Amino acid sequence: MNIKLYDSIQEVPKETWNAVIGDRSCTFSHEFWNVVERAHLNDFRYRHALFFNPQGEAVALTSFYTITTDIAIFAPNSLRNLLKICRRVYPNFLKLTMLECGTPVILNSPPLVCRPGENETALFQELHTLLHGLARKEGQLLIVIRDFESNAQNFQSQFKKLGYYWAQMIPNTYMDIPWKSPEDYLNSMKSYYRSKLRKHLAINQAQGIRHELTSEFHHLAEQLCRQWLVVHHQADEFAREKLTPEFYHELSHQMGERSKALLYYKGDELVGHALLLQDGELLRWLYFGRETAVNDSLYIYVGWSVVHSAILLGAKQLELGLTTYPIKQDLGAQLEPIHIALRGTSNFINTFVGWFYPLLNRVPPIRNRNVFKTGIRN
């Protein structure tokens, strides 16, 4: 297998890259990686790899990056408070520069795209050899390969044989969308959840909250990013990447009609937004932002309007993302477990990864609920 590395998506032949992807998620595409690279997020340094067979045909691809990240990112509150104290003196305590394979702003499972009929097991072995060699050469102590949802759990035994620790992350959330109209969705809910949702919708209606769906939001990039930062700074859960106005501008510009923004108005004032991406039959809810950090019903209205939009856009499934699980579950979302593969670059470090990571990170158990009447699938 011949592997060709690129330091930027701009160096990668667009036709070759997109041909390997085929009908896979548009978030693997050349265009989407253009968005990510031009956004200048955090201290990410991206690289891309094309895998060629002996006949010179591109058969697989992946992307990876170096990033300085907190290895106690899912720490319980008691430990998190202790870390805050330690970091007043040592700002980078338990923060490592690691080599991570995946996409930094989206969940893609699995992170290696293979042409149909190719030997995925052998290609993941090639990927491990590539990442391990680069990490050792460049001095990274830890390799992270992410993400593995239910469609990729069969790789667990292979990665364990390669010396990786299979770790659970906080879950993703999904909803199937079988409804023909928003009214059908509301009518399918059990009375408790329906009345609870209608109560919050009425509060927003009384306050004059309304929303608009648009694919043209590049001119609002600065304001939307400021709104996202309001939510980001208030987050007490998982938060790593830091968005930029360039991210919003490029998403609208590069992804065209597939990128959407739900804009929330109170009168004529833009008070919030939800950023969406139409990915084939899947609608992804990427980010949320608002003008002021107050405890009100706006987020519940936002969640309902995202479901509303998924129905009107003809999506078959809605991805609602990480965190704020109680509200998303009340809307009908189901939790989907996510795993990552972790490995130290040296055998000595790797002996500690398996017990040190779960010691620092606590992931709550998955408890799904059914908010719909009997016979309704969610």
Q: What is the CA radius of gyration of the chain?
A: 21
Residues listed for the chain: 378
Cα within 13 Å of Cα(147), Cβ side? 18
Per-residue pLDDT tens for 26-39? 999 999 999 999 99
Note the pLDDT of residue 90: 57
Taking phi first (over 0 means left), then psi (-120 to 50 degrees means alpha), and beta for anything else, what does residue 233 get? alpha
Mean pLDDT, residues 233-249 = 80
The pLDDT, as a whole number, for residue 74 is: 47
Decide if pLDDT at 255 tops 90.
Answer: yes
Q: pLDDT per residue over 43-100, tens digit each?
A: 889 999 999 999 999 999 999 998 876 555 545 565 566 656 675 665 665 566 789 9
Residues 265-306: tens digit of each pLDDT? 999 999 999 999 999 999 999 999 999 988 889 999 999 999
Identify any residues that bridge with 276 across adjacent strands, giving them in sequence order.
260, 285
Strands 142-148 and 113-114: unpaired
Exposure string (b/e) for 65-99, b if CB count within 10 Å is 16 or more?
A: bbbebbbbbbbeeebeeebeeeeeeeeeebbebbb
Looking at the predicted structure, is the pLDDT value of residue 225 above 70?
yes
Across residues 315-342, what is the average pLDDT? 95
The residue with greater pLDDT, 236 or 197, is 197
Rounded CA separation 5/65 (Å):
12
Q: How confident is the model at residue 230 (pLDDT cuts 50, 70, 90)?
A: very high
Percentage with pLDDT > 90 across the chain: 74
User: pLDDT, tens digit, for every residue of 164-195?
Assistant: 999 888 899 999 999 999 999 999 999 999 99
Mean pLDDT of 6-31: 96
For the entire predicted model, the pTM comes to 0.89
